[in-house]
Amino acid sequence: MQTRNWSDRLGDRIAKLFEDEYLKLSSACKPVIRSNGSKEWTVLSGIVAIDHLSVDKKLRLVSIGTGVKALPDATLERSHGRMVHDCHAEILALRGFNTVLLEHMNYMVTEQCGETDLIERTTAGVCILKSKWKLALYISTLPCGDASMKDLQTYNNTDTNRKQELTFEENTEIQWIDQKIRSILRGRFNYDRLGVVRTKPGRYDSQITFSKSCSDKLCIKQVTSILNSLTWSLMAQPVFLDYLVIPNLAVDRCQGVHHSFQDRLGRLPQKSLELLECNVPFFDNKSSKSEEPSSMSSVKLFLDLPERKCTEQAILNGLKNGFYTKGNKPLRKNCESAVSRLAQWKIYVNIRPDAKQQTYLEFKAGLSERNRIIQEVKKVLSPDGWISTRNDDCHILCDTAV
């Protein structure tokens, strides 16, 4: 019998850790049984740092995200950085990771210290992730978009109605957001087509979102790193994921992940991502057709700073639960979650007060090297062009509105 070493069990250990933490989330963050008796489901995701120098490969939780919703593009009009557009679990986990980094850098500035448990300042004065850490992204199921299309083929080929609903002739306009950009498909339409960019899946008749699928976003991060524009400008070097943990990936599903995250990037320089074996299924995943997607999303940030251990928030319609206002009414004060653009920008200007003179989007436009890399990846993934989501800017001087 082959001796199992730490790496054989690492995927299971990580999945178990996230499930244990999920159980500790407040009930407001989790799916419910609806009044008509139907059960809701969600996706669980998170980032964990692994101390690869320690004998027992110590795990340090960084962030958790749960959720399966994305906002329609039109709702962002009143956002001004406060609404989280994409509340899919893995995107929330990545946003959480960036908020944790910003909070740690802010702590170092405020306390005038040179390190936290995650990061340290180099002699040149910039921050780096401590070299002992490797990072893993856990997702309780295959990410939406390209990486999960093969699964959808298997599932839908036994369901004729479903297959008909999502399959269109070669030139049917409805499958695209913009018919001039045929390398971006809407949601799950024509799921037989692999290797294309897709928007977030949604109901056939739902209001349109231009947010791209998690497969596409994760694929882009294989080149640009998991830092956002704010942490990119503060860290000495990009930070990439080392491992991906998705429970119960058979060989063909692993191939789908490799194809989606790595092969379709072609010759672009990218970080290799190791898939860890994992046999711990998540109990709140979708398990039958009658189950409904949960409207609630959530984040938990493991700051582990003195007097600030963690932050947990339930998120509904892109805002902290309880803060949503209907229609076109102004959003309420302090409605933004800890992972929103505005919350992150507020921490950033505390670290770099000069940035206050700019709006968030002006700052972002100034990151020319990062923008160049992003444009290059988008061109490879969608040769016909790109469809961007609506501008969502914020400014600290006048609090929120631009």
Residues recognised as catalytic: 90
User: Smallest distance, Å, CB 312 to Zn ion?
Assistant: 21
Q: Which two tokens stand for residue 275?
A: 């898939």
Between vectors from CA 249 to CA 248 and to CA 251, what angle results, nearest 5°? 140
Distance CA 325, CA 394 (A): 19
CA distances to 172, 323, 391 from 167, rounded to whole Å, are: 10, 39, 32
Residues near 121 by Cβ (< 8 Å), separated by ≥ 6?
A: 108, 114, 115, 127
Across 196-259, the runs of DSSP E, i.e. the strands, are 197-198, 243-245
Kindly determine how many residues on this chain lie close enough to bind Zn ion according to the rule CB under 5 A.
Answer: 3
| CB nearer Zn ion, residue 127 or residue 197 | 197
Closer to Zn ion by Cβ: residue 220 or 303: 220
- What's the min distance (Å) between Cβ of 279 and Zn ion? 23
User: Which range, of 87-95, 119-127, 274-282, 332-340, touches Zn ion by CB under 5 A?
Assistant: 87-95
Q: How far is the CB of 89 from Zn ion (least distance, A)?
A: 7
Least Å distance between CB 91 and Zn ion? 7
DSSP β-bridge partners for residue 68:
88
Nearer to Zn ion, 140 or 359 (CB): 140
Stretch that binds Zn ion, among 17-25, 84-92, 261-269, 309-317 (CB under 5 A): 84-92
Give CA angle at 371 (176, 374), nearest 5°. Answer: 45
Q: Which stretch binds Zn ion (CB under 5 A): 94-102, 185-193, 208-216, 281-289?
A: 208-216
Nearer to Zn ion, 211 or 400 (CB): 211
Closest CB 88 distance from Zn ion, rounded Å: 3
The DSSP code for 36 is T
Which residue, 31, 195, 68, is CA-closest to 143? Answer: 68
- What is the footprint of Zn ion within residues 121-150 (CB under 5 A)? 144
- Asked whether position 88 contacts Zn ion by CB under 5 A, the answer is yes
What is the contact mask toward Zn ion in residues 144 to 183, using x (rule: CB under 5 A)?
x---------------------------------------
- Which is closer to Zn ion, CB of 88 or CB of 341? 88
First and final CA of the chain: distance in angstroms?
Answer: 64
Helix (H) or strand (E) holding 185: strand 184-185
Q: State the Cα–Cα distance between residues 324 and 330, nearest whole angstrom.
A: 10
Rounded CA gap, 177 and 196, in Å? 13
Between 214 and 235, CB nearer to Zn ion = 214
**Least separation, in Å, of the C-beta of 370 and Zn ion?**
23
State the residues that interact with Zn ion by CB under 5 A.
88, 144, 214
